[in-house]
Chain A
Amino acid sequence: MSSDLHFRTLVDLAGLLEAGRISSVELTQAVIARTREVEPRVQAFNSRDEADAIAQAARSDARRAARRAAGPLEGIPIGLKDVIAVAGQPLTASSRILENFVSPYDATVTQRLRAAGAVLWGRLNCDEFAMGSSTENSAFRPTRNPWDLARVPGGSSGGSAAALAAGEAVATLGSDTGGSVRQPAALCGVVGLKPTYGLLSRYGLIAYASSLDQIGPFARTVEDAAIVLGAIAGHDERDSTSVRAEIPDYRAALKTESGPWKLGIPREYFGAGLDPEIAAAVERAVAHYRSLGCEVREVSLPHTPYCLDTYYIIATAEASSNLARYDGIRYGRRAAGAQDVVDLYFRSRAEGFGAEVKRRIILGTYVLSSGYYDAYYLRAQKVRTLIRRDFLEAYREVDALITPTSPVPAFRLGEKTDPLAMYLCDIYTIGVNLAGLPAISMPGGFTSAGLPIGVQLIGQPFQEARLLALAHAYDQAHEWNRQRPKL
């Protein structure tokens, strides 16, 4: 069989499986072999259970033999960020505090992947509790960018992006609170989708900032992403923030949802700090859409300058409360030698959490404190409403927005030591989370140094079908998504 199975698209592999030209066990073995080969350099995984993956693949082959194959994900190895619960597998959030925790239950998206026949493969590294933009905040190890091992893969879902780019999985899931799927997708040259808030169940996703968190797929192509999204989207009675929305056939919609579209370029997204090569890549994509007959015009999102502040108030406030449960009492790390229960809390959390997590817990605790709530949290919620209104106003004129995903390409490990410099990596992605919108990052070229560039398209609430079709129109017309890193 082909020696590059691990780099094929999901669509290709589904076809090969369907045609009986490969088995899921063969495919899974190929992915495992590739992982063994490159993982010492990439370090995308927190843990892998090869025997379990092979067993799942064998069951998939048996289903296929019995003509009970579930669909395009049947037999496809998919990696999950280590913040999504898989029954019987570790669930660490890349944190010491959960170092030895094994989840007794499946997240809803995990159950849906199982139902779709996917082979659940590995626990992928990330910034601790999904807080960060480089995966350097992982308590265990930093993941490397497959395009340049001296550089970061982005974050927080860096393991999910890097594993896919390196051929260690066919698709992966991440979570996106302020850009944590789209930014690493951009830095690793893959597709990353952040769905509308409420399209997917968060049940079983370790909460960072509940009102912003959303699970999203990484895939080699927009079409692959559409397939994964279709398998995991939809209302879940265990998550009251998940919406009862009709889930269309996203893959079919790539053909039926046709343009021309009206595209908006938010002028606030092209200011100082944007790498010129990235600006040029976005312009190239804009030109392509124009060539397809799309009307492109400049729009304004005037509250963009407040996004970062608003995000770091709301996200940290929610995080300070969400992370309170990690206390060493019921599960997870329990410090030795505590004098009493309060001492146990202090020691366990002091030992268990890393610096960035502590910083955000402290910040979030502060903004919720008596006397500060109105000035910070309440005001941030009001600004959030204005930020969302900006987008909805723009959508009166245009169908979607086109922007850079990240202001800079992959940076070197250790390069950004100032937390604020790191936070600025997310300036183009954060507004989308605050507004609850869907957005996708797709490969849009390479820098002169050979680093991937991501182009972001931002859609309207629950209009993933249209957003994916728009992205597909660019993605399938270019070769960017067929470039592979030389590891």
Chain B
Amino acid sequence: MNFEAVIGLEVHVQIKTASKIFTRVAAGYGHEPNTLTDPVVLGLPGALPVMNKAALDAVIKAGLLLGCRIAPICKWDRKNYFYPDSPKNYQISQYDQPICLGGAVEIELPGPSRNVMGEHKRIPLTRIHLEEDVGKLNHGAADSQIDFNRAGTPLMEIVSEPALHTAEEAFAYLTSLRATMVQGGISDCDMEKGQLRCDANISVRPVGETTLGTKVELKNLNSISFVRDGIAHEIRRQIGILERGGVIVQETRDYDGMSDTSQALRSKEDAHDYRYFPDPDLMPVQVDEAWLARLRAECPELPFDRQRRFFAQYQLPYTLTSVLVWDRALAGFFEEAAKAAGPGRAQAVGNWIANDLLRELGAAKRPLEPAKIRPAGIAELVRMVEAGTVLTGAAKEIFVEMFATGEAPAAIAEKRGLKAAPTDQGELERWCREAIAANPKARAEFQAGKDSAINAFKGPVMKAARGQANPKLVDETLRRLLTGP
């Protein structure tokens, strides 16, 4: 029997705000334990929450980016449960009226090969709501310690419909979601710092079946690769059980990515009754059209939309777009350089950025900004190569120096004597005639209409010129000689 999996993901994303969601204390990571606290964070007697508007802005922006409907009112509920990392023993969250409803995450599945675009899908979302993060428990041999620095960090929970069917789809979903959040300035989504956390609800059923199988919740998927591996593992586990005639138990399982194993944490019987009710300490907040319009204006273009635009506007090949569109700063850098370079040079610009710039950044272990090399410099370099002022090899050297110093390419070429020597036109013509004469077959092919046959002459010409000839001029001269009288 063939089985199919049905997967829904619950993703928690920490929102990047200066202060916590319900008090002025700074939000942050890596500080001394229990230093980012105050009476509100610690749930001291008498302390009250006050909403941080920046957190609401961020979640609405996330909703707008993902095409959600934004609720007209932001209402808060208490989720009641006892756990030592929860200072009030209730979490302020949103229950029946999440701030964002619907929407979708666009994903791209792996194509048949790396340079061919894969299938796109839209994974529908159920909801996005805002809540407060809890503290962190550190278990020792004799005791457990609690660090409340994380408590009260704004957190959004993004719940997908059970509409994913493979581990690869889940991987693509998280990749796309993460890029959206990062590019929207909503979160850095560093999974090592717990800024993005993912739980997966997984069930399997025979292909053709429409009712859902018993679901298992997989927790502790703490990297995107572990999400993929964990889901693949769980699908195999469930199919294995069904094939042996067994029954899937509804439970929560803990996945260990290092050993690719999982174990049961708790069964359905242990499910909490959270006793949700509206938080009387927080007034509902009205989200009006002007507020939405302001946030809409702040929303950046999403990677896949940008990719479609890059195809249309710059005629870039897929491989180049798939390098450029995922990083908002890099895409912006590219567009600025392409604009400065002028029409028809976008691909050359894109190549410099995708190959040389990323290589240098990687080697220097630096982010794009603040880079010394500027888009205008790259545009100028592209034009110099095209004009034959510098040759490709020299241009590579110039680029490395531009990256290091930010100097203009012409100045570097001048200073380091990297400008192409003006070739004697008579000498060039002689080399071309010799090359044509030495290869009558290619000459005949070219004259019969096969344009690419011209390339057969270029190697010998370049060799004769010891690489110092201007390729554009070589091409022109060859064409003139081949087509002339």
Contact = CB atoms under 8 A, between A and B. Distances in A.
A377 B96 CA distance: 15
B280 interface: yes
Interface string A194-238: 000000001111110111000000000000000000000000011
Contacts of A370: 273, 275
B281 A210 contact: yes
Main secondary structure on chain B at its contact with chain A?
loop
Contacts of B47: 203-204
A341 B281 contact: no
Contacts of B280: 209-211, 241, 318
A319 B80 CA distance: 12
A320 to B, nearest CB: 8
Contacts of B88: 324-325
B44 A104 contact: yes
B84 interface: yes
Contact of B43 (A103, A325, A368): A325
A237 B58 CA distance: 21
Interface string B268-306: 000001011100111100000000000000000000000
Given A203-B46, A203-B47, A321-B78, A240 B282 contact: yes
Given A211-B280, A377-B277, A93 B43 contact: no
A205 B46 contact: yes
Interface residues of B, number: 29
Contacts of A365: 275
A342 B270 CA distance: 14
Interface stretch (A53-61, A118-126, A326-334, A440-448): A326-334
A207 B44 CA distance: 11
Contacts, number: 99
Contacts of B250: none
Contacts of B144: 341
Contact of B80 (A203, A324, A345): A324
B275 A91 contact: no
B283 A240 contact: yes
B84 A329 contact: yes
Nearest to B38: A105
A91 B47 CA distance: 13
A458 to B, nearest CB: 22
Contact of B44 (A211, A324, A331): A331
A317 B280 CA distance: 11
B152 interface: no
Contact of A103 (B44, B78, B80, B276): B44
B45 interface: yes
Contact of B89 (A103, A104, A317, A327): A327
Contacts of A341: 84, 144
Interface in A237-259: 237-241
B29 to A, nearest CB: 22
B50 A104 contact: no
Interface residues of A, number: 45
Nearest to A364: B275
B87 A330 contact: yes
B84 A241 contact: no
A373 interface: yes
Given A211-B280, A373-B277, A321 B90 contact: yes
B51 A240 contact: yes
Nearest to A98: B45
Contact of B48 (A91, A239, A321, A325): A239
A127 to B, nearest CB: 16
Contacts of B46: 83-85, 91, 103, 107, 202-207
A107 B45 CA distance: 10
Contacts of B90: 321, 324
A373 B275 CA distance: 8
Interface in A302-331: 317-318, 320-321, 324-327, 329-331
B84 A206 contact: no
Contacts of A98: 45
Contact of B275 (A107, A331, A369): A369
A241 B281 contact: yes
A369 B273 contact: yes
Given A103-B45, A370-B275, A321 B80 contact: yes
Interface string B295-335: 00000000000000000000000000000000000000000
A105 B39 contact: yes
A206 B39 CA distance: 12
B194 interface: no
Given A107-B46, A210-B280, A317-B277, 5 more contacts: A237-B50, A240-B48, A321-B277, A324-B82, A324-B90
25 contacts: A105-B39, A105-B44, A202-B46, A203-B46, A204-B46, A205-B46, A207-B46, A211-B280, A240-B48, A240-B49, A240-B50, A241-B281, A241-B283, A320-B275, A324-B80, A324-B88, A330-B42, A330-B87, A330-B146, A331-B44, A368-B80, A368-B276, A369-B273, A373-B276, A373-B277
Interface of A: 83-85, 91, 93, 98, 101, 103-105, 107, 202-207, 209-211, 237-241, 317-318, 320-321, 324-327, 329-331, 341-342, 345, 365, 368-370, 373, 377
Interface of B: 39, 42-51, 78, 80, 82, 84, 87-90, 144, 146, 273, 275-277, 280-283
**Closest 10 CB pairs between A and B?**
A324-B89, A210-B280, A368-B275, A211-B280, A204-B46, A325-B43, A206-B45, A370-B273, A325-B88, A85-B46
